Amino acid sequence: DSGVTQTPKHLITATGQRVTLRCSPRSGDLSVYWYQQSLDQGLQFLIQYYNGEERAKGNILERFSAQQFPDLHSELNLSSLELGDSALYFCASSVGARADTQYFGPGTRLTVL
Amino acid sequence: SQQGEEDPQALSIQEGENATMNCSYKTSINNLQWYRQNSGRGLVHLILIRSNEREKHSGRLRVTLDTSKKSSSLLITASRAADTASYFCATVHPSGYALNFGKGTSLLVTP
């Protein structure tokens, strides 16, 4: 158990819908990262927050957004969902702003029908 | 975009044998890390090697790094069935914040 929690575990929804994925980092970790894992694209970095502020952006679509709250939990919002958004979404956390060891949550499996 | 590329894509060995996986990357790095992922589960950090290190050990794991060739290898000695998983290398650019993962090596260890 990494100490990172993600909810929900599974999410099934329809195209055009909007969903919110939630992540709670390990106690004491200030950085939260979001990754998307799909068969064709592999593991892709989406976005990082550090202590409430956006720190780095990766291959995140404009339809996706995220935020980190004062209690350090984070939410990833996916809107206008398409079939291709079906993937495993992982949250990871680390102590500092720079990416040393990251601790991954169990992931949320999103299926868009 | 993928930074690291693991080789081979898949590896099948018997318990007790050693498993070697390789990773090549394209740009300068601050450090390189190896992660393991059991099917459909989260990634677990195995080992981190910094750009000024050449070799590192952790239990049955041995990692090497050759920055001149932009490559790393992960050796698992005396493999066990429980080592069956996908293994990913991940690099961190000196000015970067996040991990850039390769596509992984799928390791199957049969009893």
Work out the average pLDDT over A2-7.
95
Instruction: State whether A92 and B101 contact (CB < 8 Å).
Output: no
pLDDT, residue B94, reads 65
pLDDT beyond 80 at A93: yes
Segments in chain B below pLDDT 50? 1-2
Count other Cβ atoms within 10 Å, centred on residue B88. Answer: 26
pLDDT band at A77 (very low <50, low <70, confident <90, very high): very high
pLDDT beyond 70 at A104: yes
Write out the E strands in B1-111.
5-7, 10-14, 19-24, 31-37, 43-50, 55-58, 61-66, 71-76, 85-92, 100-101, 105-110
B3 min Cα distance to partner chain A (Å): 10
A–B interface: beta-carbon pairs under 8 A:
64
Residue B16 identity = G
**Alpha carbons A62 and A79: distance in angstroms, whole number:** 9
pLDDT, residue A98, reads 81
pLDDT beyond 50 at A107: yes
C-beta pairs of B42-51 under 8 Å, 24+ apart in sequence: B42/A2, B42/A4, B42/A90, B42/A104, B42/A105, B42/A106, B42/A107, B43/A43, B43/A90, B43/A92, B43/A104, B43/B88, B44/A2, B44/A104, B45/A101, B45/A102, B45/A103, B45/A104, B46/B74, B46/B87, B47/B74, B48/A100, B48/A101
- CB of A33 within 8 Å of a chain B CB? The answer is yes
Interface with B, mutate which of A48, A53, A100, A111 (most B CBs under 10 A): A100
**Alpha carbons B94 and B58: distance in angstroms, whole number:** 24
Work out the average pLDDT over A44-59.
92
pLDDT beyond 70 at A2: yes
pLDDT, residue B80, reads 97
pLDDT beyond 70 at A46: yes
Q: Calculate the average pLDDT of chain A.
A: 94
pLDDT, residue B1, reads 45
Count other Cβ atoms within 10 Å, centred on residue B4. Answer: 27
Report helix, strand or coil for A85: helix
